[in-house]
A = this chain, B = another copy of it.
Amino acid sequence: MDSLAFIEANLDRFRDELDDFLRIPSVSAKSEHDGDTRAAAEWLCARLSEAGLDAGISETPGHPIVVAEWRGAGSDAPTVLIYGHYDVQPPEPLELWDSPPFEPTVRDGRIYARGSADDKGQLYMHVKALEASLADGGTLPVNVVVVAEGEEEVGSPNLVPFVQAHAERLDSELVLISDTGWFTPDLPALGFSLRGLAYFELHVRGANTDLHSGEFGGAVANPANALARIVASLHDERGRVAIPGFYDDVLEWDAETRARIAALPHSDVDFAASLALAELSGEEGFSTLERLWIRPTCDVCGLISGYTGEGAKTVLPNHAVAKVSFRLVPNQTPERVKALFEAHVDTVRPPGVRVEVRELHGGRPWKAALGGPAFEAAADALEEAFGTRPVPMGGGGSIPIVVDFEETLDASALLVGFSQPGCNLHAPNEWLGVENFEKGIGALARLYQRLG
């Protein structure tokens, strides 16, 4: 029996097992679920073992990392590292779930459960594709290392140190990740980019205390006004970030990529309508998808100053804060953006206030070639499994560990995801399509064979 026939014959069992996996509330952010998170690691380790891999649990200062290896392709064959995560986002607010988050429920062809799409369901598709590939004396043309962490939803604090410490054991040519989605409900996608992140708090301070706006207003700089002035200076009239040097490192994307983005089935009208917006807005000279995927941004994520309660309190605040987030594109770095941002803030600082920039978070952008053997192998495998050739899709968000894997292991990453738009990642009623789960296992089994 070949692997595809094995999958077909065992789908019911695979679905039951996935339900078992999803029932474990492995919420990494909450210490009350530490036992559940470890149980999920142990459960996953056992399934990888049963699938024919040499599986074990590696301790970290936080939640453990499951590592499973199959080296049957021999030392001359390439190695593929499959990365996923077994932890999930907190399910709250619980009252907005139509069925309990940790009781998987199928409705309208969708498996509703926390973690179904992000990422237990997609990770488990690999486990089953590996099992099917190795069943009945089956074999793979590549060696495989599975690395499944339990801290992705809390920022992966222990993953990079682990990969660095075990770089030789984890040495791979390709890092395969299924933690993304399709472009439309019917159109599979292969990821070709992710934006990086540089996130700061900008503090503006004035006098030693809040002041009466009548007694002092007009003769003392107002930190809230000053903050607004600084934030406003971050963009020009064309929607570009106005920090000198900000675009120096920004990659001018190649014409082919821009042409393929332009060919995607996207409607600005529908996009705006879905957000109840009368008009879109962004950098001149770029389409909506380009603005989301291949152009950097500067967005304020929060503002706070002075009196924010009901009514008209006449206070001149002595402190104002903005959370300022930059999304980065190749070849920007958080370090360089921080230096430029700080220099700019210092330049535009209005008189009478002090400013401070605090770095909260940084992550590098990623891009992949729109082609090459692995990319084409994945496109072929998905087309065979789903009947539709995948499109290249950029990512507006940030998955910093993709770049970390590539650099630490000197590998290339391939993002092959199976969730569909509207699948409620990080929100109530998260779901994964039953068909995508079932056909996706076959797609992955096909892909492994093509990577040799």
Contacts and interface: CB of A to CB of B under 8 A. Distances in A.
A244 to B, nearest CB: 18
Nearest to A350: B281
A151 B296 CA distance: 55
A287 to B, nearest CB: 9
Contacts of A207: 275-277
A49 interface: no
Nearest to A271: B219
B305 A302 contact: yes
A307 B305 CA distance: 13
A213 to B, nearest CB: 5
A218 B327 contact: yes
B213 A301 contact: yes
B303 A320 contact: yes
Contacts of A280: 219-221, 352
A1 interface: no
Contact of A301 (B206, B307, B354): B307
Interface of A: 195, 197, 199, 206-209, 211-222, 224-225, 227-229, 231-235, 271, 275-283, 288-289, 291-292, 295-308, 311-317, 320-323, 325, 327, 350-354, 360-361, 395-398
Contacts of A215: 292, 396-397
Contacts of A398: 214
Q: Is the interface of A mostly helix, strand, loop or mixed?
A: mixed
Interface centre among A228, A317, A353 (most CB of B within 10 A): A228
Contacts of A275: 206-209, 211, 216, 220
A232 B305 CA distance: 15
Given A218-B292, A302-B224, A351-B281, A199 B312 contact: yes
Contact of A352 (B216, B281, B298, B299): B281
A341 to B, nearest CB: 15
A4 B232 CA distance: 62
B321 A308 contact: yes
Q: Across the A-B interface, give the 6 residue pairs with the lowest CB-CB distance, nearest first.
A: A214-B397, A281-B352, A232-B232, A228-B231, A221-B281, A224-B300
A351 B272 CA distance: 13
Given A218-B396, A303-B304, A314-B197, A235 B231 contact: no
Given A281-B352, A323-B307, A352-B281, A276 B208 contact: yes
A197 B278 CA distance: 34
Nearest to A298: B225
A152 to B, nearest CB: 15
A314 B325 contact: yes
Given A197-B214, A206-B277, A215-B292, A317 B301 contact: yes
B219 A282 contact: yes
Contacts of A224: 231, 299-303, 322
